[in-house]
Structure 1
Amino acid sequence: MIKKITSASSLKGELTLPPDKSISQRAAIFSLLYDGVSEVKNYSQAQDPQSTLSCVQQLGAEVKEENGTLIIKGTGRKNIKTPVKDLDCGNSGTAMRLLSGVLVGANISAKLVGDESLCGRTMTRIIKPLEKMGAHILARNGAYAPLFINRNEPLKPLQFELPIPSAQLKSCVLLAGLFGEELTQVIEILPSRDHSERLLNLDQKVVQDRKIISASLADEIPNQSYTIPGDFSAAAFWLVAGAIQNDAEIKIGNVGLNPTRNALLDILDEMGADITIENERMEGAEPAGDIIVKGSDLKAIEIDPKMIPNCIDELPILSVAMLFAEGTSTISGAEELRHKETDRIMAMANMLNAVGANFEEKEDGLIIHGDPDFSFSSANFESYHDHRIAMAAAVLSLKGSQESFIKDAESAAVSYPGFWNDLEDLSTS
């Protein structure tokens, strides 16, 4: 689908975001592990969480929906079933990596498959620690899905220092460790998303600036009955869209405000964005609130590489904010972006190039020479079938003086099925 976007002179209105995709997928997997019934409200209808939900059903979870609430009867750790067919993770790296840990821990033989994009992403980082725990994993070229997983020896405990800040890698190892008699520990040097530790109530301690998270069979799996908050990564597009428009006021309700996810708020605040938070509260183990953003005068920023793991998914839309900020902004230490759904640094560079932006592409990021008065007429954008690139290009298109076009725009549905409707509701020509 090629999406036509017209320029907007103002952005006004209130939005309800799609449910958080990362939390939704964990809710499904952790409900499988819980020996009892969980009631999950506001579960995401996006493709990735639906793929995960289908997989946990194949592993024995009983799922039904009542009045918008998912009722999930888990198997507990001892009664997970061997699936009768391949576990199709679709486009979800979270599903493939976290379920790999579950399969290894539970000693379930299964084949994990995915779409073309997922099968192009390396799984080496999870294969190596899982094999140290006793797994036998066959992968295409030793690194890529499909993954054939089994375990023919006792589960071994592991003390694993994360080579990079990765919530998926961390969660994979901890989920395998939940099935072990002895303690498995993950040592985190730089912070990554902590949804798994929160939702599973795992033991955590800080020793010499390193966080150590532990898991074993002794950990009781908590009931997963809660309301999924709105996806902060989805809110990011509107936060930037509102900040770069002269005439804008957008209210976004029920946004997840997990401190390991919302570095973009601090970055935009430092850039001078007019953002306020109201009605702060807890949704289960996760903080949430309502956010209001208004048109702002932005200034450039050099992002501390230590903050990158906390805003990795927001960098494509952040590059749009930088384009309209006064001065030169820098993204560095973001080489991980080259291993997402597409090479996102390349995709961001091509997006900026399409409008004639002044920037330099680096191996681990971008240098963007911004201008609050930057203007362009129209552009043709490639999304590379990447949802975040498609939506970032849409926000950028609103600033053009004429119509712009985004190729393969349907990819936005991976994380935000209602994005195009919300965009239309907010914008006025």
Structure 2
Amino acid sequence: MNKKVIKFENIVGVFFALLPVALISGPFFSDLIASIICIYAILNFKKSKIDLNNIFIKLAFIFYLCFILNSLLFEYRLESLKNSLPYIRFFFFAVGIKIILDADEKYFKYFLYACILSILLVCFFGFVEYFKYTFQYFQRYTELNSLETNDPSREKLQYLYSEFPNRISGIFQDEKIMGSYLFRLFPLFAISFFYFNQNLDKKKLLFFIFIVVIIYFNTFISGDRAPLILLSFLIFLIFLVCSNLRKIFTKIIIFILIISSFTLFFDSKIKERIIDQTLRNIQGAYNDGELTLITKEHQGHFNAAYIIFKEYPILGAATKGFRYQCYNNLIKKEDVICTNHPHTPYLQLLSETGILGTLIAIIIFFTLFFKIFIKENLKKNIRSTSLNIVYIALFVSFWPLTTSGSIFNNYNSIFYYIPLGLFLFLNKKNV
């Protein structure tokens, strides 16, 4: 092999390792890296030794064909095709990850280091912002509490939390995605960590617990409720499925419960966001007293998605079809609130890919369920810890009962397809 090829492989390997850091910076660099890895995979596809008869590969290919077909059926086909045609690059991106790691596992170790660095960086800025606002809050509380009982300003004590942000974004600043980022990065960290640390000594055990706890706490204080619920679910599934990690995750869950309870008790801002606002949403405080699944806005998005699905039940209204159909045809309808996507994965699939696309996702979901809970021995694992966590991460990605960003968004898709690349690599090795 000539030196240029070796050099190119090394560069692509380093790019893969830097993905966790690139994802902090935003969509540009992460999408650039994903595209480079995609090109590398196309040029070296024979090296991948991908089993094209694999059920996941077949379903992905059928889904992509449906994706293209439904884009051709509407007047906004050019806009839709701009999104659907290049979407196959994420499949090659996953294949590229397998080729990189098959060639040299050192890039997987570099990826682990990048995960740890990214987690510490994001959590550090999260802590700084949180404690800054907490300090200001107690200063203000002391100031108001020192006033005379009959002073009108003292009444502000009751709603003092409203003067301060109830969501923490840290290094992401105006983008409120700290919780989402940490939730998506956690399984990638855990997969790579247990790949290289199958037998934990005390120091590594304490380090792992420390990382998981700070991830959870920062997701908690971020105010991102959907990532918090999904992260809790993910941790519970690892505890349930990975028999060799149950003692470790018992300790982690105890720490999490103590810290969460302590935070809710002493921090009215976080309690207002996580508990009180959620209860008001469900009870319909923002929807004329009517019960809502999440919020009135989300309910409006869901209604729009359902109407679009009924109009185009088989193939859907194509990628980006939700926004076009909603703003062009539904915006004046009662109980409909338009936006770019319906903020929940399966309703987006129903409205934009129809029954066919959604059915493929459901088949994958139940196949993963079978692989995790039926085929695996939950008392004594047959699979490796890393591969089990990959399955769990993919399973949670297909979990229907959640809100989300657009599932076809480039930034989100990178997070969806990294576990697929790790699956292709680990499934063969089963380590």
Q: Same fold (TM over 0.5)?
A: no
More helix by share: 2
Larger Rg: 2
Measured against the shorter chain, the TM-score band is under 0.3
More strand by share: 1
> What is the TM-score normalised by the length of structure 1?
0.24
